[in-house]
Structure 1
Amino acid sequence: MLTKVYGSAVFGIDATTITIEVNVDIGVGYYLVGLPDNAIKESNYRIAAALQNNGYRIPGKRITLNMAPADLRKEGSAYDLTLAIGILIASGQIKEGNVSDFVIMGELSLDGGLHPIKGALPIAIKAKEEGFKGFILPRENAAEAAVVEGLDIYGVDSIIEVIDFFDEKAELTPLKIDSREKFYKEVEFPEFDFADVKGQESVKRCMEIAAAGGHNIILIGPPGSGKTMLAKRLPSILPPMTLYEALETTKIHSVVGKTGNSGLMTQRPFRNPHHTISDVALVGGGSYPQPGEISLSHNGVLFLDELPEFKRSVLEVMRQPLEDREVTISRARFTITYPSSFMLVASMNPSPGGYFNDPNAPVTSSPAEMQRYLSKISGPLLDRIDIHIEVNPVPFEKLSGDAREGEASLEIRKRVTKARSIQTERFSKLENMHYNAQMSTGQIKLYCRLDEESKQLLKEAMERLQLSARAYDRILKVARTIADLEGEYNIKASHIGEAIQYRSLDREGWLG
């Protein structure tokens, strides 16, 4: 008997429906074809044990299973449940019913229980697009898949529940979640709050500007000055994610199995990889490509602590994604594009010893050592970082308990959100553009026009600091954001002057 059941394969952040054809005929043998990987080839052992432990069996006949399209490589253990149901139906042990209306996915344990799978959200999105009525999957993934409206999501704990459902011995209740209502009702209480930061008013001002315009920022200062503390609080002042951003972010994390039981992600991601990370782990890739840290940071923050300690090759591979806001991974048979629109926040010590031109410093470095240390970061990469700010140690008076508490993140977020709304309206007719940091050269000319005083100020800074054309664009973008924060339509000389101050590493005495 021949039967067809349906699963799905995830490539990049999109899914492709897989038709599994099962034919049981006279003879002996078990043949699994259609470019399965080793995890799928081993599934017959898991299926045999799971069926036997639940009162069923793999028939002693010739079983041929074809995973179509046959020229597309399949990987992972998530097809166990799909293959098992196909075998039971084809061998007449359970009814076929309306199995063609469902996508079925799940990894089997030997007792018939189900382990969670990766990519449940993109699979559910594809199932809805192709007109399936329901999606049967492990219960741990049900909340994630239930984000998709118009598709019945059935979370199950074991294969026996699925068998009884098709045999009409028991009913399965679809999980219902109003993702929009849940998303808009959820109130975020940030774990890290800027109210905890005492002093550092100028740095907090920079962080506010960076958040308002989506600008990349680097913090330079000695150990203990608060660089990491400030960076961890940046997500608390970013505007809340839109529903579209939340779906897009959840989709990427679903592919690598990092959503847990939370369903829709409502907080912007904050990724903080160690400096020993490889270039493939950062940008994505591998034999079977997976999203890297820059894609997992999409719509959020990527924090690189102690930037010069990262391998130069790792930092250089970020240059193109920082500009294009996506990363393309090419292999001989396919090409995958992952979104990577993130805010880069980096921190570094000003010298190997941690202190710069400080006669009272416990450790000093020679000019040659400092130059060698700073040269680990290339000029082209620094050009792509809009804001450079020095972080100085906080004096005792401000650290003491009598000092005034800093402004809360929620108050800063209100100003940031207001500035972002101005930018959203400005770029409303442009596709995939939402904030100032995304502006191209043409848009900079259109939206960053300067008066004569501002032009003269910027000209003097360009000549004195020998800034590149990219740095020129960065200054204009930051000035545009400062103007938005103040509710100004035109960029003024004061905005240009403040933006120029945030190019510390372009000044003489840092990189030469």
Structure 2
Amino acid sequence: MLATALSASIAGVDGVPVRVEVDVAFGLPGLTIVGLAGSAVLEARERVRAAVRNSEFAVPDRRITVNLAPADLPKEGTGHDLAIGIAILVASGQLDGERLPGTALIGELALDGGLRPVPGILALVAAARAAGARSIIVPAGNAPEAAATNGVAVHAADSLRAVVRHLAGVEPLVEVGPPGPLRGEHQARLDAPDLASVVGQRVARRVLEIAVAGRHNLAMSGPPGVGKTLLARAVAGLLPRLEDDEADEVRRIHSVAGLGARPIGSMQRPFRAPHHTISTQALVGGGPRVRPGEASLAHRGALLLDETLQFRTDALDALRGPLDSGCVTIARVDGVRAIPARFMLVAAYNPCPCGWAGVDGHVCGCEDGARRRYQARLSGPMRDRLDLHVPLAPVVSGLRGRRESSAEVARRIGVAWELQRRRQGGANSALGADALDARLGFEPRLLALLERRGRQLGLSLRRLHRAARVARTIADLEGSSEVSRDHLDEALLHRPKDAAA
């Protein structure tokens, strides 16, 4: 007898519907799974057998063939267990399959018949919905996350037996309602330092505000103890809340990574700060089963590389593509996966291995060659993708007096973000060269001045465009519709310098 159930699989950060076909026939007893099943899927043979038996059902003493269609799509993960188990019960006549059409089954089976949550539930539910599912049964641990998906009824179950009783019409599962979206003003992150705790560093605070207001990539350099890390981590408390469409993207990526997700409207922008020992694959994503890296986990938020020059050079250079395109592209034999990774980069580093090069009152013990090699770890192409750079020096003034809090600065940043959203639908950092015209406040005279400054300073065309975007952000912070010469001068003043400089 043949039975079919609907499930789903993960491909990158997207879900793909999978049809589980089970045939129970006469022959040597055994359970075979075909359809490009990965190791975790093949291990379902033992999990499903034990779960069926320990749920007080019979494992058919027949030849059982399980096909996961489409057969040319690699299947990974444990989310097909429930669909396989239910389809076996239907194919062996232990359960009426009348309610299976229009129902998707997702979840991992424990040996005792319990249901365990699986990563990527948002993408899996979306794929099942796209395949025509009107009802989806998921593990109770996945239910709050899955319920955020519109257009489909989500039912939570804690065991295989509970699913069988639901499909048999004996004891229906409770439908999980969607969480209510949260609204409100900017709320400071409890894990982010407040700018009010930063002593001095007036210029660095200003450049930091400009960077966050336009989502520009920022580098901060200076000796130990001047506040680079404190300022960089304060970025987390300056980022405005996610828009609903952005929140959906972030939730899907974090769900696939197994980090879970919160309801739309309640999520703060991601802020990721990996250790400098991180591998290239962990930073940008990849692996046999393609999974998001830190760059994608920072999507729509900020990625802090503290002690940037301690990172592997190949890992740093791997960020060049995402910084340009806003996504990580990973090629595999079975296809190409594109994972969103549009983030604001914050780099913080010392000027040399000992940290004291060029600092008054301190002697740098590094040789010239060592300093050059250290600075060269951040390659020219990577420096070219930075928008702003600010050197920090030890504080000698500003110890007294009032200092602005993160909440005050965040309000100005929020106004600037809203101006950009209404004007061009996105951040200034994403403006193309063709957008730098009078419509965005760039008069021909200003563009001519920009070209002259570029020739005088020997700047690449990319750096000129980045300086123009920064100038537009400075104008937004001041509430000006026109970009002025002063705005451009400030943008050029804080432009990134070459390593030799």
The one-letter amino acid paired with 1:426 is: R
SS in 1 for 2:176: coil
Alignment partner of 1:425 is 2:422: yes
Query: Quick check: 320-329 or 405-414, which moved more?
Result: 405-414
Query: What is the TM-score of this pair, normalised by structure 1?
Result: 0.92
The one-letter amino acid paired with 2:21 is: E
Contact 1:108 1:115 in 2 (8 A): yes
Alignment partner of 1:2 is 2:9: no
- RMSD across aligned C-alpha pairs, in angstroms? 2.0
SS in 2 for 1:238: coil
SS in 2 for 1:44: helix
Query: Which residue number in structure 1 is paired with residue 464 of structure 2?
Result: 472
Contact 1:119 1:254 in 2 (8 A): yes
Aligned CA distance change for structure 1 residues 474 and 296 (closer, same or farther; 3 Å): same
Question: In the aligned structure 2, how far is the partner of 1:288 from the partner of 1:504?
Answer: 37
Q: How does 1:102-501 map to 2 (within 5 A)?
A: 102-178=103-179, 181-184=180-183, 188-191=187-190, 192=192, 193-259=194-260, 262-264=262-264, 266-361=267-362, 363-395=364-396, 398=399, 403-428=400-425, 434-445=426-437, 447=440, 449-450=442-443, 452=445, 455-456=448-449, 458=450, 461-501=453-493
Residue 453 of structure 1: how far off its partner (Å): 7.1
Deviations 1:344-364 (A, max 9, x none): 000010111102222411543
The one-letter amino acid paired with 1:442 is: D
Query: Which residue number in structure 1 is paired with residue 11 of structure 2?
Result: 11
The one-letter amino acid paired with 2:460 is: S
Contact 2:7 2:128 in 1 (8 A): no
Aligned CA distance change for structure 1 residues 404 and 359 (closer, same or farther; 3 Å): closer
Contact 1:462 1:472 in 2 (8 A): yes
Residue 492 of structure 1: how far off its partner (Å): 1.1
The one-letter amino acid paired with 1:497 is: D
Aligned CA distance change for structure 1 residues 416 and 162 (closer, same or farther; 3 Å): same
Query: What is the TM-score of this pair, normalised by structure 2?
Result: 0.94
The one-letter amino acid paired with 1:190 is: R
Alignment partner of 1:502 is 2:494: yes
Contact 2:10 2:76 in 1 (8 A): no
Residue 129 of structure 1: how far off its partner (Å): 2.6
Deviations 1:13-33 (A, max 9, x none): 221111111111222332211
Listed as ranges, the gaps of 5+ residues in structure 2 are none
Contact 2:386 2:496 in 1 (8 A): no
Query: Quick check: 299-308 or 272-281, which moved more?
Result: 272-281
Contact 1:5 1:100 in 2 (8 A): yes
Contact 2:140 2:157 in 1 (8 A): yes
The one-letter amino acid paired with 1:511 is: A
Residue 76 of structure 1: how far off its partner (Å): 1.2
**Quick one: percent identity of the two aligned structures?**
37
Contact 2:200 2:397 in 1 (8 A): no
Contact 1:198 1:405 in 2 (8 A): no
The one-letter amino acid paired with 2:403 is: G
Deviations 1:47-98 (A, max 9, x none): 1222222211211012111111111111111111111111111111122231
Query: Which residue number in structure 1 is paired with residue 51 of structure 2?
Result: 50
The one-letter amino acid paired with 1:424 is: R
Query: Quick check: 363-372 or 246-255, which moved more?
Result: 363-372
Question: In the aligned structure 1, how far is the partner of 2:271 from the partner of 2:195?
Answer: 16
Question: What is the number of equivalent residue pairs in this alignment?
Answer: 496
SS in 1 for 2:96: coil
Residue 378 of structure 1: how far off its partner (Å): 1.1
Question: In the aligned structure 1, how far is the partner of 2:432 from the partner of 2:300?
Answer: 19
Residue 445 of structure 1: how far off its partner (Å): 4.0
Residue 366 of structure 1: how far off its partner (Å): 3.4
The one-letter amino acid paired with 2:182 is: F
Question: In the aligned structure 2, how far is the partner of 1:459 from the partner of 1:24?
Answer: 74
SS in 1 for 2:150: coil
Question: In the aligned structure 2, how far is the partner of 1:351 from the partner of 1:332?
Answer: 42
Residue 187 of structure 1: how far off its partner (Å): 6.6
Contact 1:196 1:405 in 2 (8 A): no
Question: In the aligned structure 1, how far is the partner of 2:121 from the partner of 2:91?
Answer: 26
Listed as ranges, the gaps of 5+ residues in structure 1 are 429-433
Contact 1:448 1:476 in 2 (8 A): no
Question: In the aligned structure 1, how far is the partner of 2:353 from the partner of 2:240?
Answer: 36
Residue 42 of structure 1: how far off its partner (Å): 1.4
Contact 1:454 1:496 in 2 (8 A): no
Question: In the aligned structure 1, how far is the partner of 2:303 from the partner of 2:315?
Answer: 14
Aligned CA distance change for structure 1 residues 504 and 165 (closer, same or farther; 3 Å): closer
The one-letter amino acid paired with 1:471 is: R
Deviations 1:255-298 (A, max 9, x none): 111116x4546111111112222222222222222122111111
SS in 2 for 1:327: strand
The one-letter amino acid paired with 1:420 is: W
Residue 475 of structure 1: how far off its partner (Å): 1.1
SS in 2 for 1:337: strand
Contact 2:143 2:154 in 1 (8 A): yes
Contact 2:358 2:364 in 1 (8 A): no
Contact 1:194 1:409 in 2 (8 A): yes
Contact 2:225 2:394 in 1 (8 A): yes
Query: Which residue number in structure 1 is paired with residue 22 of structure 2?
Result: 22
Aligned CA distance change for structure 1 residues 423 and 22 (closer, same or farther; 3 Å): same
Aligned CA distance change for structure 1 residues 487 and 186 (closer, same or farther; 3 Å): closer
